[in-house]
Amino acid sequence: MQEYDLVVIGGGPAGLAAAVAAKEQGIENILILEREAKLGGILNQCIHNGFGLHVFKEELTGPEYAYRFINMIEDKFIRYKTETMVIDLSKDKLITAVNKTDGIFTIQAKAVILAMGCRERPRGALNIPGARCSGIFTAGTAQKFVNIEGMMPGKSIVILGSGDIGLIMARRMTLEGAHVKAVVELMPYSAGLTRNIVQCLDDYDIPLKLNHTVTNIVGKDRLEGVYIAPVDENRNPIPNEEEYIPCDTLLLSVGLLPENELSKKATVKLSPLTGGAEVDEGRETNVDGIFACGNVLHVHDLVDHVTEESYIAGNAAARYLKGLQKQSKKIEVKAKDGARYVVPKFISPENIETDLELSFRVRDIYKDHYVSVYFDETRVAHQKKKILTPGEMQTVKVTAEMLNAHTHCNEISIQVEKE
């Protein structure tokens, strides 16, 4: 059995940044485990621009962004193993992994950072009826075929779901020679970033059908077409208003789920709201010495936010390993009213030296509303926002002064308010 101070599971942007941060804090004995052949995670297939504006103050492609971090890993001599799948994790931080050369092996870690990313929801999760033919892919699978393998999964495309991956793929498929007939979205708004709607759909005249869904799938061997229909207020399709769109491919971009199978094995408590772990301000889970960051914790729209969060987790893991983390009272942070969830879920004021950012998502579209922070009944922050959408992660600051002024507070909450 091998022993490490810190093992990072997952070598995407989250895992890489967390490892870099921990190393910078003086943790020497670090190992990153990654199941793919290359470090970089999902970024390797995101060949479009739009990464790094916050962290590097310049616009990079996914692989370029990943490359910067991979360089840091190499420069800092951080060890990693690729093509290595972690298959088990215990709450005592015993890791079981497998690869071709080492076979099955176990590692005892003093601290673990979970950075396994997320996966896409498949057709079954929506239980869309119809034929079980070929030609139905998740957008990410199609992205991999096109961007990594240079192969086209189809020529005439309907995309269900207007999350960022769906939007990006609408443009990519168009550029590679396919005809994207429509992007169909159940909700009255897109789940993607506004910039992606403009740059990926509007610029290519691809229709975005809000308040619509796919109701039936037609095809014997290969997909021949889909029926779409508008939905009522309860998101149920309106009968007799179905429209048939011939197409050979249906791409699904209907949500991402944090990939927490390992976390469950380690008895990490998951939030039903995010699908990720419940964590404190250092992104430590309920299991002592196990941290989580990136898409495995909650789904991010920008990799820059993943990086920032992962620095926090890497720093906190280093403090934990050095015994600097104080065991103190935890205040619960709640999302209320228009806020759907907030990360972190707990704050230990004694461990906070500077300001702290809370990340949250809203439930609906809100125009000219206020984001407020309450310490129990006292409102301590109140910021006007022109527009809040579920597709864009929001942040709000909690300062050290606020915490000092409310040391006996039981609960902090975030609310979206009209005034």
Interface residues toward ligand FAD, by CB under 6 A: 9-15, 33-36, 41-43, 46, 48, 50-51, 85-86, 115-117, 140, 143, 164-165, 168, 259, 262, 294-296, 300, 302-304, 306
Rounded to 5 degrees, what are φ and ψ at 262?
Answer: -65, -40
Find how far residue 9's CA is from the centre of its chain: 16
For ligand FAD, the closer CB: 143 or 372 = 143
For other proteins, the closer CB: 131 or 398 = 131
Q: Which does 98 bind (CB under 5 to 8 A by kind): ligand FAD, other proteins, none?
A: other proteins
For ligand FAD, the closer CB: 104 or 405 = 104
CB of 135 to ligand FAD, least distance (A): 20
Closest CA relative to residue 247, chosen from 308, 334, 160, 323:
160
CB of 319 to ligand FAD, least distance (A): 21
For other proteins, the closer CB: 239 or 323 = 239
Q: Which does 304 bind (CB under 5 to 8 A by kind): ligand FAD, other proteins, none?
A: ligand FAD
Amino acid identity for residue 317 in this structure: A
CB 41 within 8 A of CB 27: no
CB of 24 to ligand FAD, least distance (A): 18
Helix (H) or strand (E) holding 101: none
CB of 399 to other proteins, least distance (A): 38
For other proteins, the closer CB: 132 or 408 = 132
Burial class (CB in 10 A: 0-12, 13-18, 19+), 291: buried
Q: Which does 295 bind (CB under 5 to 8 A by kind): other proteins, ligand FAD, none?
A: ligand FAD
Find how far residue 169's CA is from the centre of its chain: 17
For other proteins, the closer CB: 20 or 223 = 223
Separation CA 143–CA 157 (nearest Å): 13
CB within 8 Å of 159: residues ≥ 6 apart: 139, 166, 169, 170, 180, 182, 183, 184, 250, 251, 252, 253
CB of 366 to ligand FAD, least distance (A): 23
Given the DSSP bridges, would you call strands 79-81 and 30-33 parallel, antiparallel or unpaired? parallel
Find how far residue 394's CA is from the centre of its chain: 14
Q: Which does 176 bind (CB under 5 to 8 A by kind): ligand FAD, other proteins, none?
A: other proteins
Q: Which does 393 bind (CB under 5 to 8 A by kind): other proteins, ligand FAD, none?
A: none
CB 122 within 8 A of CB 128: no
CB of 237 to other proteins, least distance (A): 8
CB of 134 to other proteins, least distance (A): 4
CB 33 within 8 A of CB 9: yes
CB of 66 to ligand FAD, least distance (A): 8
385 pairs with which residues across the strands? 369
For other proteins, the closer CB: 5 or 83 = 83
Six token digits for residue 402:
């606020």
CB of 100 to other proteins, least distance (A): 4
What is the number of alpha carbons within 13 Å of residue 168 lying toward its C-beta?
24
Which residues of the chain form contacts with other proteins (CB under 8 A)?
Answer: 35, 83, 85, 87, 96, 98-104, 119-120, 122-125, 127, 129-135, 137-138, 140-141, 144-146, 148-155, 176-177, 215-217, 220-222, 248
Residue nearest to ligand FAD (CB): 12
Separation CA 95–CA 283 (nearest Å): 20
For other proteins, the closer CB: 26 or 150 = 150
CB of 6 to ligand FAD, least distance (A): 15
Separation CA 60–CA 206 (nearest Å): 25
CB 338 within 8 A of CB 326: no
For ligand FAD, the closer CB: 220 or 418 = 220
Separation CA 401–CA 392 (nearest Å): 28
For ligand FAD, the closer CB: 242 or 301 = 301
Separation CA 168–CA 329 (nearest Å): 44
Six token digits for residue 77:
């001599």
Separation CA 336–CA 362 (nearest Å): 10
